[in-house]
Structure 1
Amino acid sequence: MTSSPQLLDTDTELREPIISNPPDVYVEPETPDPFLIDSDASDEEIEPNNQELPVSTPTRLLTVQNLNKDVPPPPSESEEEDAPELYLPGLVLPTMFLPIPNTDPLTTLLNKYIHPPERRPARDVSGEWQKSNFHTLVMTNSWRALARMARDRIVTTDPEDLALVLGLWYLRLACLSRLRLFNQTSVECTNLFSVLNAIEPPDSKTWLFDRLLPFELEVMYARLKYWAGDHMGYLDALNALLRKSKLKERKAPKSDPTTASMWKERGARISLIIASQFMEMKDFGASTKLLEPLCNQSEPTSALRSAVARIYLQAGYIQKASAHFALAEKDPDATEGMKDMNRALLACANGEWDRASEILSSLLEKEPENFVAVNNLSVALLSQGKLKEGIEVLEKALKSSPSSVVVAEPFLFNLSTLYELRSATAAQKKLDLLLEVAKWSGDGLKTTCLKMPSN
């Protein structure tokens, strides 16, 4: 039976190294996260990964990266004097790292389906980074090259420069997770924290974890349990980080509001990640119970209210969802695009597909590059029996901005599904889509979204 296309929502670590055994293999689901995230919807993973909320299918609560997130305030002179002398050469040993595979699932699909070989787009899986700058590598999703760059810089960095070393470690592990090399990420992250947890005396270790270690590394260390399949252990680890954030916020001196604000923001981010996990476990009640108190703050954002409303839509509580959507509608800071998307999602939940189509078409006239609206419009058209029009909408977006569209796995999944519904041309259409994706996509694409078996 062909999978139904899915509506997208708006909105991503001894002195000697210890190489532990890899955890149990993490098996990905056959289909990608069915919802795109709009940049207006909330704050993040990720894994985050680098994953807002759907109408009918549970998914992880994904958030966009906060490029201006709070960082620890610069240490005062007294704090610098109290800083312990730490020298951790184990962090920069080459044996802390594993080699990155020089192939990827997309190349495997090309080798299987595209003949003769001359038709296959050239893909760089060497990981060479010396001829490109950091910005270019990020914008082209070259996670393999960035991971190699981080490793090469770590092993040549002075171990006394701990801030730089730990920052590069986070870059390395984040890129490995983007490549979906979860076992390798787990091994290297475990190696990192084996060194950090062996720091003596304990006061020095506490100082490093509180003052120097990027908080994102602690979140990623908790994520290892998720990749090992221990979802309840993952929730326990996240809850420990949430308690730590609240405790640090309460203990922050009143004369230092920056530190208190930083830990408060971290606590909010962890709450969103926990809510995401509850969503994945289909425990919508626990997710809303966790996020509702955030809506009772002095100034809850329209993005947060919209996110909570969409959880209620998934759970089938349309009346509560409507109430939150109404409050978001009154927010003067809410963008018109968010308001329109909220109206469209509510119309879809009520089965008013023609009204949803009208709202989304109007939104696209104002924001032609809103690809979340494009995808949702195609689903609304399909629900009215307009299969041809739905395919045309998606193909037009793919042709107008291929580099943006091919990294959106739910978009590719829905287009592949619509092709299958037109069975007469499905095979060739999906081959053409594979070529287009291979031409424009970077590293880390979940190829199951193309619905083409690799074995």
Structure 2
Amino acid sequence: MSDIDRRYNAWIPSESTRQILVAKVMSPNSVTLDRSQLTMPGVVVEDSQGDPIKELVYKFMGEQESNKRQMLTADNVSQNEEGLQQLIAGGCYRSAVDLTARLLDRYNQGNGAVGQQSLNTPLTLQIWFTRVALMMKLRLFSTVEVEIEAFGNLDKPDLFYEFYTEMYPGKRGSMVPFSFRMLHAELPQYNGRPQDTIDRLYYLHAITSKIISNLESGLAEDGSGIEISEENRKASVQLWKSRLIRILYSIGNCLAMMKDYNQASMVYRDLLDKDTANVTSILSSIGRIHLQLGDLRSAEKCFDEVEKHITSDKDKSQIYMNKAFYWLAQSNYAEAHSNFVEVLKIDPDNALAINNMSVCLLYVGKLKEALKTLENLVHKDPKYLQEGVLFNLCTVYELESSRSMHKKQVLLDLVNKHRGDGFNVQSLKMI
């Protein structure tokens, strides 16, 4: 097994799983497991995900326009991982979900396979990770939870290389991508159970911290005495520390979503020492948390610290962005607008600043200017056809004109030409 494989696949299983894996390595044919100890995953969503944009075009612009829609689907790409990548790159997330179901069916993990024993491989786990990530992006959280249930807490023996001694002789560790573990941990918060997410993230935090501790104590990631060169040990510590940072960001974000701003702030403070390359962004986030708490003084202190760390003119946009949010928290839309303007002088393509600037214009009664600002943005480049921007523009249309539906159809036409089936059509406020 290569050092790179060992580094990326390392994981510390529960004691019960470890004992099964040891027995498997010692005497593969002597281990018999109960069905509950195996994963046995399967696809739950059988029907095609469809194309909501095409349906909306048909409803408002007619069959002829609907038939003109040019878009990749699961039927017109290669039926493999390359085709899957092609669909994802084109923003065709629903078609990509359809293709993952077809690919998993080849491995007896397709529709109707739940509860049937099948073979897990690094490839099937990667396809499952992609499927889960896509469905979460499409906000199909309840469906994801049903499908991911078969994997338990991603600790079952048949998710480890040691379980398949004949297929992967001498190979150790988990086949589950670390990013899959992160999605599994983050999922419950989107189904109204944020505390479950916090519990799962702290479990990942504990395992990751233990792996780092093992490495720094001269052991291998899993605590064994495998000899590792200094260069590889350093690379492994760096990888797992980056993963720990990723977990902490996720914990902080979940706490902020729970409106537990004090705890979130403490987590971000911990990140200041661990993620030194992003100090200004972290301080800005802490400052904005203080704004949520109404603690303007503490927010101002954080934003002052940001200014001390910024040395280049290019990075000064962050200073003005923080000032803009500071004034927004006090409902001073004129001052906020002025600072968003300063951001755009440095970073003319900052969609967040443009979007917020238009909101400020709306609040100070300059509706036509707000409208012009957003329209210029979305017509400037297809990359600005973002759901949040279009939602705000459609809201302004509703305030500005009785002909709002006609104007929304113009936006629908743009989306039809430039966006894949993963676009959330609810942002157009037509349904």
TM-score range, shorter chain: 0.7 to 0.9
Equivalent-residue separation in structure 2 for 1:247 and 1:189 (angstroms): 26
Equivalent-residue separation in structure 2 for 1:411 and 1:420 (angstroms): 14
Equivalent-residue separation in structure 2 for 1:210 and 1:201 (angstroms): 6
The correspondence for 1:118, drawn from 57, 60, 64, is 64
Q: Structure 1 residue 280 and structure 2 residue 243: aligned?
A: no
Aligned partner of 1:53 in structure 2 is: none
Equivalent-residue separation in structure 1 for 2:172 and 2:362 (angstroms): 52
The correspondence for 1:264, drawn from 220, 241, 264, is 241
Q: Is the 8 A contact 2:160 2:173 kept in 1?
A: no
Which structure 1 residue ranges, 5 or more long, are not aligned? 1-71
Q: Is the 8 A contact 1:91 1:195 kept in 2?
A: no
Q: 1:377 to 1:195 in 2, by over 3 A?
A: closer
Aligned partner of 1:15 in structure 2 is: none
Q: Structure 1 residue 436 and structure 2 residue 395: aligned?
A: no
Q: Is the 8 A contact 2:38 2:158 kept in 1?
A: no
Equivalent-residue separation in structure 2 for 1:369 and 1:166 (angstroms): 38
Pairwise mapping of residues 332-371 of structure 1 onto structure 2 (< 5 A)? Answer: 332=310, 335-371=315-351
Q: 1:419 to 1:261 in 2, by over 3 A?
A: same
Pairwise mapping of residues 1-400 of structure 1 onto structure 2 (< 5 A)? Answer: 73-75=4-6, 96=43, 98-112=45-59, 114-120=60-66, 122=69, 124=71, 126-128=73-75, 130=77, 136-154=86-104, 162-193=121-152, 197-199=156-158, 204=163, 210-254=173-217, 256-296=233-273, 299=276, 301-332=279-310, 335-400=315-380
Q: Is the 8 A contact 2:186 2:197 kept in 1?
A: yes
Q: Is the 8 A contact 1:100 1:144 kept in 2?
A: no
Equivalent-residue separation in structure 2 for 1:297 and 1:279 (angstroms): 19
> 1:128-185 deviations in whole A, cap 9, x for unaligned?
3526866643332122343344454555579989333322321222123223333332
Equivalent-residue separation in structure 2 for 1:331 and 1:157 (angstroms): 52
**Structure 1 counterpart of 2:349, which letter?**
E
Q: 1:320 to 1:155 in 2, by over 3 A?
A: same
Q: 1:99 to 1:381 in 2, by over 3 A?
A: same
Q: Is the 8 A contact 2:39 2:156 kept in 1?
A: no
Larger radius of gyration: 2
Q: Is the 8 A contact 1:343 1:356 kept in 2?
A: yes
Equivalent-residue separation in structure 1 for 2:319 and 2:23 (angstroms): 49
SS of 1:432's partner is helix
SS of 1:164's partner is helix
Pairwise mapping of residues 386-425 of structure 1 onto structure 2 (< 5 A)? Answer: 386-402=366-382, 404-406=383-385, 408-425=386-403
SS of 2:208's partner is helix
Q: 1:436 to 1:179 in 2, by over 3 A?
A: same
> 1:48-99 deviations in whole A, cap 9, x for unaligned?
xxxxxxxxxxxxxxxxxxxxxxxx83439xx9xx997799xx9999955643
Equivalent-residue separation in structure 1 for 2:387 and 2:159 (angstroms): 45
Q: 1:83 to 1:371 in 2, by over 3 A?
A: farther
> 1:402-422 deviations in whole A, cap 9, x for unaligned?
2x122x222112111111211
**Structure 1 counterpart of 2:319, which letter?**
K
**Structure 1 counterpart of 2:64, which letter?**
E
Identify the range of structure 1 (371-380 vs 129-138) with the bigger mean alpha-carbon deviation. Answer: 129-138
**Structure 2 counterpart of 1:447, which letter?**
V
SS of 1:252's partner is helix
Identity %: 25
Aligned partner of 1:65 in structure 2 is: none
Aligned residue pair count: 373
**Structure 2 counterpart of 1:119, which letter?**
E
SS of 1:301's partner is helix
**Structure 2 counterpart of 1:278, which letter?**
L
Deviation at 1:273, TM superposition (A): 1.4
Q: 1:208 to 1:340 in 2, by over 3 A?
A: farther
Q: 1:73 to 1:270 in 2, by over 3 A?
A: same
